[in-house]
Structure 1
Amino acid sequence: MKFEFSGIDLTTQQTVNGDIDAISEAEALRDLQNRRIEVVSLRPFKERLGRKRKVSVADLALPLQEMATLTESGVVLVDALNALAKNKEHAGLALGFKKLASLIESGESFSSAIEQSSLPFPDYVQYLVKAGEMSGELASALKNASSQLNYDQALKNDLRSALTYPLVLIGSGIVAMIIIFFAVVPKFSHLLDGENELPTLAYLVLSAGKFANDNPYLLFGSAFVVVFFATAFFTNKGVRTKLANLAIDMPIVGPWLAEQDAARWASLCGAMLSAKVGLLNALTLAAQSSIFTRRKQRALKMVDDIQSGVSMPEAIERAGTLPGTSLNLISVGDKTGKLAEMMQAIAKLHDEACKRKMKQVMTLIEPLAILVVGVLIGVMILGVVLAITASTDMAL
């Protein structure tokens, strides 16, 4: 047991603070007296955890890898979990792993403890762990789970990185438009009161600029409300699913998203099969992980076909979720008993194809973003120029 103390060092007559390990408070007092420290306060040590924040799925990848390394090295599972529970930087993770250790000590299996845990483990982690427990290869199952979590996170990071530059361009354009609206257009708003009639575009630009300067709080307040409701709208799971279903049917973005979904499906199937999860369970869970409704339905129909006696390559061909080259690899893996390895190979192929298609999409999105921003700023500047020329009777 650990105690924290404050007192006075009788040798140096200085104040000292620290902590000490002892079986009881009385023993801690004796040890401090032997060290010639006059104790002022002594209390059980309270571990100071970092600020508690919400645990994300990405936060679980590294702890799972650490747990796999510890168990592979012969560390008892409960001890490994207790070691992870000492995380001082992430209080939420620490509490989650502490609860897992407590459930296992009370007699629950690790897979059952994960199911009852408050940590946001994806469903496939429980299946992988359960298969690892049954086969005696828990460390390998944990490694597979960590690898799959890292892979899922990499897909999200690729998408986020791809959209960063276009979003920065659009944001810069909006800032430039705001500067023009509040710093440039107001200097010409007096032209609205002139005798000469202004062109429609010039009138609209100057009127909008005058309104923005007269009502800045109303404008920014409205913008905040719009952003708030837009964020709430687009973070809704149902809305995101509908948008994803619309996007996958689009001519340019659709093939990219289909490749991404195929890569994730194959990677998850490979991880599950490597951990000795049953084929039907692996395919069902991989199908349910898809965010695209029609692809999910086709993948689940494929599982039903396999269950009814159709060969796996034929069932996948019927579902139309993978191209012919991937079907050849699955056929070879099905015949040679190396389906897990072939699934991982298919995941790599589709991942590379996904990155190529992502670059193609970005080559269109970036100039499109520049074009939109340029047109909007150009319209504003043109409105100001038309106002000036109209007020001076100059021909443009």
Structure 2
Amino acid sequence: MSFFQYIGRNSHGDTVEGWIAADTKDQAQNKLNQKRIQPLVIRAGVSRIPVKVNREALLTSLRELASLRRSGMGLDKAVASIAALTEDPALKDGWQKVYEFLHNGFSFSEAVENLPFIFPRYVPSMVRLGEANGDLPNALLSIAQRIDKEMELVGEIKSALTYPAFLIVFSISILLFLFSYVLPNFESMVDSSNGQASALASLLAIARFVNDNMIWILGGLITSIGLLIWGMKEGKVQSGFYRLAAQLPFTRDVIAYWDIIEFSSSMSRLLGAGVDLLEGALLSAEGLSQERLRYRLLDAINSIKQGESFSQALQQKQVFPNLVIQMIAVGESGATLPDSFNEIAHLYERRMKNALKRAITLLEPSVIVVMGGLIGSIMIVLISGIISVNDIAI
């Protein structure tokens, strides 16, 4: 499922714009027509849109909104109050747009669905659930809890990757220093026409190329950084990262466990709130990062509609590992599926943390060996070249 950006006119003739989740452009147009919006422009986006606001600020504002709603304040006034109190500029603009959507006749779930850069993709479905059962404050608190959990996990990942990232940046800086400053000083020591110190001569040729094209190299680096930042804002980097990480042996287990945690946590909350099993599975499938896994789950849901049990359908389509399916089967037999999904989430949180530690344990020495070997090889060539030149001179 991808996001489509649109510009259209509502039933009052006002111009509205936002994003809508759909599989195809035609499906996006049909959804807009159902919302009584006449689309003028529909532009295809990406499957994963990154949240551009501070998650701590979003977490706080959601809890404040839940408190205001519990106190009996109207939704539009509560949203206006949150927009006035929020200090984060992007989040303030997001809440103001939610307020505008509400005044244009949108429901709260439809309003947040139009702002995927502000609210994570699972927020609209959970808000829709709260609207359906008349308990929006609890739905907002559940969203806040999920964001809090995500922040904790993402914080652990960032902390684990800090040291390898520092090593890579530091090693690249050393290489640039060697090629741009140190190696040119050895130019006069090597007479490449006589075949002396051929390895050192090759390094000097690379150093000359680097120095002669330094402007182009720096321009390429700046352009690459700019494209990387743009790709992250558009969600293209995240989508590519998830696809790549799901294939690499170091990170494959981490991504698989993360999807199990996301699905199980969502199912536990939705089923606990009284949502139908099929509807909960459809809503939870939207949060999966692997498209292949999402399609398998959707196929399993179609099998459930034909009369198969949830666990049997998951097993036939090979959606999750056997342990997960067995725990789901136990929950089905005892009518305790919410508790079973909660146990699955806790179990795989521990497994994901252990898998992440293993990946980092392998990543750090790999970076040290590769970068250290590269820099060490250059130093060995330099020393060997100096020795060979001295031998020739003698």
Range into which the TM-score falls when normalised by the shorter chain: 0.7 to 0.9
> What are the Cα deviations for residues 345-383 of structure 1, in whole angstroms up to 9, with x where unaligned?
211111110110111111111000000111111121122
1:258 CA displacement: 0.9
CA distance in 2, matches of 1:280, 1:144: 20
TM-score (norm 2): 0.76
Instruction: Identify unmatched segments of 5+ residues in structure 1.
Output: 1-52
The 8 Å contact of residues 263 and 285 in structure 2, kept in 1 or not, is answered as yes
Kindly report the root-mean-square deviation, in angstroms, between the aligned alpha carbons of the 2 structures: 3.0
Q: Distance in 2 between matches of 1:224 and 1:105?
A: 44
Whole-Å Cα distance in 2 between the matches of residues 133 and 235 of structure 1? 31
The one-letter amino acid of 2:349's match is D
Distance in 2 (CA, whole Å) between partners of 1:231 and 1:117 is 20
Counterparts of 1:168 and 1:54, CA distance in 2: 25
- Please state how far the C-alpha of 1:102 moved relative to its aligned partner: 4.6
1:137 paired residue number: 135
* Residues 263 and 351, structure 1, Cα contact 8 Å, conserved in 2: yes
In the aligned structure 2, how far is the partner of 1:280 from the partner of 1:258?
22
Query: Matches of 1:233 and 1:199 in 2, distance apart?
Result: 44
Cα deviation for residue 200 of structure 1 reads 2.6
State how 1:1-396 maps to structure 2 within 5 Å. 55=53, 59-87=57-85, 89-104=87-102, 108-116=106-114, 120-193=118-191, 197-229=195-227, 237=235, 241=239, 244-393=242-391
Larger mean Cα displacement after TM superposition, 267-276 or 133-142 = 267-276
Distance in 1 separating the partners of 2:285 and 2:201: 56
Cα distance, 1:266 vs. partner?
1.1
2:180/2:210 contact within 8 Å kept = yes
**Is the CA contact 2:66–2:136 (under 8 Å) kept in the aligned structure 1?**
yes
Distance 1:194 1:107 in 2: 78
| Distance in 1 (alpha carbons) for counterparts of 2:257 and 2:376 | 38
More moved, 338-347 vs 134-143: 338-347
Deviation at 1:218, TM superposition (A): 3.5
Question: Structure 1 length as normaliser, TM-score?
Answer: 0.76
Q: Distance in 2 between matches of 1:152 and 1:118?
A: 17
CA deviation vs aligned residue, 1:114-153 (integer Å, no higher than 9, x gap)? 3455763234322222221222221111111222233344
Q: Deviations over 1:246-272 (max 9, x none)?
A: 432343422222111111111122232
- Paired residues, what number? 343
Shift of 1:310: 0.9
Contact 2:228 2:237 in 1 (8 A): no
Deviations 1:48-92 (A, max 9, x none): xxxxx9546675332112212332344433332122111352233
Code of the aligned partner of 2:196:
L
Greater displacement, 121-130 / 254-263: 121-130
Mapped contact 2:126–2:139 kept (Cα < 8 A): yes
